[in-house]
Structure formats: C-alpha cells, structure tokens
Homo-oligomer: A and B are copies of this chain.
Amino acid sequence: VARQERGIRTRQLILESAGAVFAEHGYAGTTICDVYNRVGLTKGAFYFHFASKDELAEEVLAAQVGRNQYPVVPRELKLQELVDSGMVFAHALTYDPILQGSIRLSLDLHAGEIDRLRPFRAWIAQNLRALEEAREHGELHPRVDLLDTAELLVGSFSGVQVLSHALSGRRDLERRVSVLLSHLLPSFAVPGVVAKLDMAPDRGSRVLAEMRQPAWEDSNILEMRAA
C-alpha cells in the first residue's frame, strides 16, 4: 500500500512534467524522453504508468476536462460568478503545468486522434449556462446573443492566454484577462451590474483563498472541486 503511494506520486510527477513540456512544445514537438528525463525517470518507468504518448496526452487533457468550469462560490450577481470562474482559471494557469499543457493540447489541432474540441465545447457550454442564469437575473442586455457571447469569451480568453504566454511567459496573464473582461463585459452586461463587478487582476487569487477556508489545504484545484 505504501508501495502504491510512490506509484501515484510518480504518475503525478509525470503528468506535471508532461503538462509543462506539452505546453512548451505542443504535441508533435514533445518527445516522451523530454517528459521522463525532466523528472529523472527512465523509459521503463514511464511506460509502466502510461501505455503511449497518446494516452499520456489524453490523460493530461482529461485531468483538466470538466474542471476548467470552475464551480466558484455562489454570488448574488451571476456575472460575478462568470468573472470569477475566468479569473480563477487564469490564476490557475499561471502555476499549474497540467492545465497549461491541457490548454496547449486543446489548441494544438490534430494532435494525434484525440478529440481536442471536448474541452472547448465544455467550456463554452459552461459559459452559456452562466449567461442564461445571468439573463434570468436580468443582468444582461436584452439583445445579446448568448451563444455568440459564450464562444467569444472562450475564443478571446484563449487568444489572450496564448499571447501572454508568448510575450511574458504568462506572468501578466491575470492582468490581461482582467483587461479582456473589463472590455468585454460592458458589451453584454447592464451598466448597473458592471459597476458592481470585481474584475481586478488578483480576483482569481482572492476567490481561491476564499474557497480554501473549509480546510482544503491541498493546493490542487482538483481537490477543491469537492465543494
């Protein structure tokens, strides 16, 4: 049992390494060797945990799927929840290599045979739901097309993230996302609501701290999900 402990730890190490390397070089540009060298393992060790490069990529992807839709704490303003989910995501992207790899893999079209669109669709769907709730709460302009907006949010977020990665190594990601939301939200939220939204760059970090109260001391986002 203590034996399995290490196995799980190793597997996690590999996943994180893979995330980082995938994020950096994309699927085709990544060699398995890069991945296991980075954590001081050998080929054998790697193939004990993962059957193939494809499987590895899928696991990196899977580790994030259904999780970018961060279930933030409920707020009076539904749009604040939407903002929170984006800012928390941006925040997590700054330090979670698996998330970074996952995003890259999703953008990396035709990487193997994986369905890279799943994460996008899930993300869009989640935004769509949030917007629908916001509309029910009267937080949106009446003429806004919800699907268009949900997809726009996902697309522009992705692009801003790529640019931040390219220009600053993601160090200014949260600021850029904050700028993005500040520019975008007034276009579909009613003015009174916009004024009340907190879209500051450190919003993600604050929300995360808030969520950590009930003793989920593990920093990994996954565990936080329990809520």
Binding site for B on A (CB under 8 A): 24-29, 107-111, 116-117, 120, 145, 148-149, 151-152, 154-167, 176, 179-180, 182-184, 186-188
Query: How many copies make up the complex?
Result: 4
Q: Which residues of B contact A111 (CB under 8 A)?
A: 29
B151 contacts A155, CB within 8 Å? no
In the complex, what distance in Å separates the CA atom of A27 from the CA atom of B108? Answer: 11
* Centre residue among A24, A166, A186 by max chain B CB count within 10 A: A166
Contact of A162 among B27, B155, B180, B186 (CB under 8 A): B155
* Centre residue among A116, A152, A179 by max chain B CB count within 10 A: A152
Using CB atoms, name the residue of chain B closest to A186: B187
Using CB atoms, name the residue of chain B closest to A163: B155
B179 contacts A183, CB within 8 Å? no
Known: A26-B108, A28-B25. A179 touches B152 (CB 8 A): yes
Q: Give the Cβ gap from A126 to chain B, nearest Cβ, in Å.
A: 15
Contact of A109 among B116, B155, B165, B188 (CB under 8 A): B165
* Centre residue among A120, A156, A165, A176 by max chain B CB count within 10 A: A156
Q: Which residues of B contact A159 (CB under 8 A)?
A: 154-162
A158 contacts B149, CB within 8 Å? no
In the complex, what distance in Å separates the CA atom of A116 from the CA atom of B29? Answer: 15
Contact of A183 among B27, B108, B165, B188 (CB under 8 A): B188
In the complex, what distance in Å separates the CA atom of A167 from the CA atom of B155? Answer: 11
B183 contacts A29, CB within 8 Å? no
Using CB atoms, name the residue of chain B closest to A149: B183
In the complex, what distance in Å separates the CA atom of A165 from the CA atom of B107? Answer: 10
Q: Give the Cβ gap from A200 to chain B, nearest Cβ, in Å.
A: 14
Contact of A152 among B27, B160, B187 (CB under 8 A): B160
* Centre residue among A24, A117, A167 by max chain B CB count within 10 A: A167
Please list the 8 inter-chain residue pairs (A to B) with the smallest Cβ-Cβ separation, ordered nearest first.
Answer: A159-B159, A28-B29, A156-B156, A155-B163, A28-B28, A183-B187, A155-B160, A158-B159
A120 contacts B187, CB within 8 Å? no
In the complex, what distance in Å separates the CA atom of A110 from the CA atom of B166? Answer: 9
Q: Give the Cβ gap from A61 to chain B, nearest Cβ, in Å.
A: 14
Contact of A176 among B155, B165, B180 (CB under 8 A): B155
